[in-house]
Structure 1
Amino acid sequence: MASMTSRTRVQRTVNFQAADRVPIDLGAMKASSIGVKAYNQLKSALGLNSSKTRIWDPKLMIASVEEEILQRFHVDVVPLDISSVMHDGRPDSDWVPKTLYEGADGLLPPGTAVGANAEGDWVLLDQDGSPTSLRMPREGYYFDDISYNKPGAVIDPSSFRPVTGFTDAHLGALQARSSTLYDHTDYAMLGWGGGVCFLGLSMITDRLSHVTMGLPSEWMMMLMTEKETCHDLMNRSVEASIQCLEQLHEAVGDTCFAWGIAADDSGTQRGEFIHPDLWAEMIKPHYAKLCEWIHDHTEWKTFLHCCGSIYHLIPHMIEAGVDILNPVQTSAANMEAERLKAEFDGKIVFWGGGCDTQHVLPTGTPDEIREHVKERLAIFAPGGGYVFNQVHNIQPNIPPENIIAMLDAAYEYGPVDSTDRPAT
């Protein structure tokens, strides 16, 4: 098969059509990237030390993957993220230099302020200089969200303030970046911004724009005891999301192949957060409404990030209109690669699951990792509908030789014998 551009390769893959090889992702969204320490060590191993690493997300401490790395590892997808677009084009001099506890140097996004508490932990500061709940302990890798118990606190639906739009400056910057990437590169673009969150990070984030308002235990009980109120909150969230997506689509059109609808972790290591029947009753209708709007008004695929053991939820996600699922946590219960491929082949695109980041990537030898990736591609790739990415972000302590082995194997074993899947 003739070689394809990245954009064509991804577009055909997510439509279950034959492609010349499996597309590769490294850093197209904030759960498919790489920790700053690991990224710096990778650059050093490759002899690429000409610039300081930009930290894409201070909380997660992940790197913004540079063009040299994208080219070296044949990466096919890049992010188009409203949350970072305002500083993407700014010079390094506008960014905030910081040496992390583990010794990695990086540049924090413009305007980022970091303080310290009495214990010597770092604390992210608000724009007014007051401390947030985000803290990085000494020798830590991330800013953890330290939420404290609030005895007697309740969720007040009247206080819910979902985001309903973006500034003209943000939308203009997003449009400019979209045009530049579309006109001057052949990368596929994954859009992000304006989505919902019903069981994921909003569970612990104390913001009035999230349905849980930082009270996860209260929210989980309300899903059982105050269903009408929960439906109302989630419906308001979806309506606000649709308003955002209307603005985003007007700005970038269909230059993106997909848009992220949610980062909404619904599973633990051993099972689903809530019973699948309750998920279907409470969460599914709101996903369906959002996915329906996207499918009716755009050419985008719908992209869902959902960690953990979610095997029993996947049929409901498919029925709700989810097209692409990430990170495919194959080390969680009931999430074996063979099982997922056998039961959901052709029904949903798997984006991830290409390398076990819990048990293989940290401790395996490069040869073991190459064989592991080869086996995963042999399972997931036939028939299309698969994009290679490790399970979630590459952690900071991963040896560079293991990362190189993983990504090189993804490219080497990516070509597969496949034909277009018959239309259904």
Structure 2
Amino acid sequence: MTKREKLERALNHQAGPVPFDIGGTSVTGIHVSMVEKLRDYYGLEKRKVKMCEPLQLLGYIEDDLKEAMGIDVTNVWNPNTMFGFQNVGEKEWRTPWGQEILVPENFVTTTSQKGDIYIYAEGDTSFPPAGHLPSGGYFFDTISRGHDFDEDNPRLEDNLEEFGEISEQDLEYIRIRTQQAGESGYGVIGSFGGTAIGDIAMVPGGMLKAPKGLRDITEWYMATLANQDYLHQIFSAQVDIALKNLEKIKEAAGDTVQAAFVCGTDFGTQNGPFCSNEVFRELYMPYYKKINNWIHSHTKWKTFKHSCGSIMPMIPDLIESGFDILNPVQWTAENMDPAQLKKEFGKDLVFWGGGVNTQKTFPFGKPAEVREEVLKMCDIFSKDGGFVFNAIHNIQALTPVENLAALIEAVKEFNS
């Protein structure tokens, strides 16, 4: 069975080997430091790791490491990054922890006397920095810079500045990358952008030099109750743009892509949903339905929804919204028992994630404990298909490489 066939069977809820994803999306990725450690662990050729996502400093997994790990999934990403520059070109950059990595040509930073690092939208230092990597940290935080929002007289265009017609250059990038992905033999997931309704990672406008409008995270969350009319205007206009772009993206990507990352808006805290089902149905569901219905009517893609946290009460609404895939399956949150998730929703949703506890077992446990937990989660989630293995969210810096190796070998063991 090919890697592509493994993913296809899982997406169609057919029993078989569990496909393994690390690095396929911005929420199933791996920190650049861990890519280097893993290359050393497997005795592969020493190479500078290429960064593929600047906000979280995620690393690109090259084919020799994919083969050593047994990875089954590759990606087709939009070339534009969370800080507005394209993921093109290559130059060396020394991280605060001393690792030499390769970054895009417009990845531009400055360092304060305290050792804090600042990154700039589109690499333009004539504007205030868009992101902050604190001294001793391992990823950037987006800086809130929009402070001119007048809630009595909001301007819709201010919160639509980052959305627009996809360029021919970007479409050609997607076209080429899709062809390469198809020829690789891997299962393929696409992250094309433009469909992230209310994703808080994007609200501050880290990709913009001078964002305007409703950009403060606290004010945005308050607006989900106090200023829904404005958010409806934003979402409605955004979806209109997204559907026009999806028509062009479909022509470029075709059905080589098997799954599409639609949205990463988090709806859960550690203890429960952050909003009521009523708010979800009124404010978010209509727009998710439009996007998912278009994708299902015009493509063979399965639609991928990321939401961390305790979201058990919202899962039926996510299904009704048209999502096929749920990630990261955070069963460590309250009321998210993995066996119950599989029993209640396993026929309707593919669980893409949930493979190991990334808050406890993975970073702090022993390799034997990681192996045991991975095998247990594979056993629960893979019954009758509908499971793609990944950890609960990205693999973070400082994770013991022996634990990561134990995870990899446990997936291979389960599939043997």
Give the equivalent residue in structure 2 for 1:173.
Answer: 173
Give the equivalent residue in structure 2 for 1:42.
Answer: 38
Question: Is the Cα–Cα contact under 8 Å of residues 328 and 352 in structure 1 kept in the other structure?
Answer: yes
Give the equivalent residue in structure 2 for 1:196.
Answer: 196
Give the equivalent residue in structure 1 for 2:111.
Answer: 116
Equivalent positions of 1:122-141 (< 5 A) are 122-126=117-121, 127-130=123-126, 131-141=128-138
Give the equivalent residue in structure 2 for 1:22.
Answer: 18
Q: Quick check: 218-227 or 168-177, which moved more?
A: 218-227
Q: CA deviation at 1:151?
A: 8.5
Q: For 1:405 and 1:210, how far apart are their aligned partners in 2?
A: 44
| 1:94-153 per-position Cα deviation (integer Å, ceiling 9, x unaligned) | 412112111222111222111123433111123332342301111210111232694975
Question: Is the Cα–Cα contact under 8 Å of residues 146 and 214 in structure 2 kept in the other structure?
Answer: no
Equivalent positions of 1:16-415 (< 5 A) are 16-19=13-16, 21-83=17-79, 94-126=89-121, 127-130=123-126, 131-147=128-144, 150=147, 153-154=150-151, 155-161=154-160, 163-182=163-182, 184-193=183-192, 194-205=194-205, 213-414=214-415
Normalised TM-score (structure 2) = 0.92
Letter in 2 for 1:165: E
Q: CA deviation at 1:414?
A: 3.0
Letter in 2 for 1:122: I
Question: Is the Cα–Cα contact under 8 Å of residues 211 and 233 in structure 1 kept in the other structure?
Answer: no
| 1:176-216 per-position Cα deviation (integer Å, ceiling 9, x unaligned) | 1211221x321111001232231431344467899974123
Q: Quick check: 38-47 or 155-164, which moved more?
A: 155-164
| 1:235-262 per-position Cα deviation (integer Å, ceiling 9, x unaligned) | 1111111122111111111110011111
Q: For 1:297 and 1:9, how far apart are their aligned partners in 2?
A: 23
Q: For 1:188 and 1:236, how far apart are their aligned partners in 2?
A: 32
Letter in 2 for 1:105: E
Question: Is the Cα–Cα contact under 8 Å of residues 204 and 214 in structure 1 kept in the other structure?
Answer: yes
Q: Name stretches of at least 5 consecutive residues in structure 1 with no aligned partner.
A: 416-424
Q: For 2:57 and 2:207, how far apart are their aligned partners in 1?
A: 21
Q: For 1:210 and 1:332, how far apart are their aligned partners in 2?
A: 34
SS of 1:68 mapped into structure 2: helix
Q: For 2:341 and 2:200, how far apart are their aligned partners in 1?
A: 22
Q: For 2:275 and 2:79, how far apart are their aligned partners in 1?
A: 29
Q: CA deviation at 1:84?
A: 5.6
Q: For 2:251 and 2:309, how far apart are their aligned partners in 1?
A: 34
Letter in 1 for 2:5: T
| 1:215-249 per-position Cα deviation (integer Å, ceiling 9, x unaligned) | 23333333323333322221111111112211111
Question: Is the Cα–Cα contact under 8 Å of residues 212 and 219 in structure 1 kept in the other structure?
Answer: no
Q: For 2:254 and 2:245, how far apart are their aligned partners in 1?
A: 13
| 1:392-421 per-position Cα deviation (integer Å, ceiling 9, x unaligned) | 111100111110100110121136xxxxxx
Q: For 1:357 and 1:263, how far apart are their aligned partners in 2?
A: 18
Q: Percent of aligned pairs with the same residue?
A: 32
Q: Quick check: 63-72 or 141-150, which moved more?
A: 141-150
Gap change, CA 1:68 and 1:336, over 3 Å in 2: same
Gap change, CA 1:147 and 1:87, over 3 Å in 2: closer
Gap change, CA 1:222 and 1:110, over 3 Å in 2: same
Letter in 1 for 2:132: R
Q: Does 1:8 align with 2:5?
A: yes
Letter in 2 for 1:95: E
Q: Quick check: 294-303 or 189-198, which moved more?
A: 189-198
Q: For 1:57 and 1:26, how far apart are their aligned partners in 2?
A: 14
Gap change, CA 1:137 and 1:218, over 3 Å in 2: closer
Q: CA deviation at 1:264?
A: 1.0
Letter in 2 for 1:238: V
Question: Is the Cα–Cα contact under 8 Å of residues 198 and 211 in structure 1 kept in the other structure?
Answer: no
Q: For 1:228 and 1:148, how far apart are their aligned partners in 2?
A: 23
Equivalenced residue count is 406
Q: For 1:146 and 1:414, how far apart are their aligned partners in 2?
A: 43
Letter in 2 for 1:9: K
SS of 1:112 mapped into structure 2: coil
Question: Is the Cα–Cα contact under 8 Å of residues 206 and 213 in structure 1 kept in the other structure?
Answer: no
Q: CA RMSD in A?
A: 2.3
Gap change, CA 1:244 and 1:151, over 3 Å in 2: closer
SS of 2:191 mapped into structure 1: strand
Question: Is the Cα–Cα contact under 8 Å of residues 28 and 79 in structure 1 kept in the other structure?
Answer: yes
Question: Is the Cα–Cα contact under 8 Å of residues 327 and 352 in structure 1 kept in the other structure?
Answer: yes
SS of 1:123 mapped into structure 2: strand
Question: Is the Cα–Cα contact under 8 Å of residues 59 and 143 in structure 1 kept in the other structure?
Answer: yes
Give the equivalent residue in structure 2 for 1:418.
Answer: none
Question: Is the Cα–Cα contact under 8 Å of residues 355 and 391 in structure 1 kept in the other structure?
Answer: yes
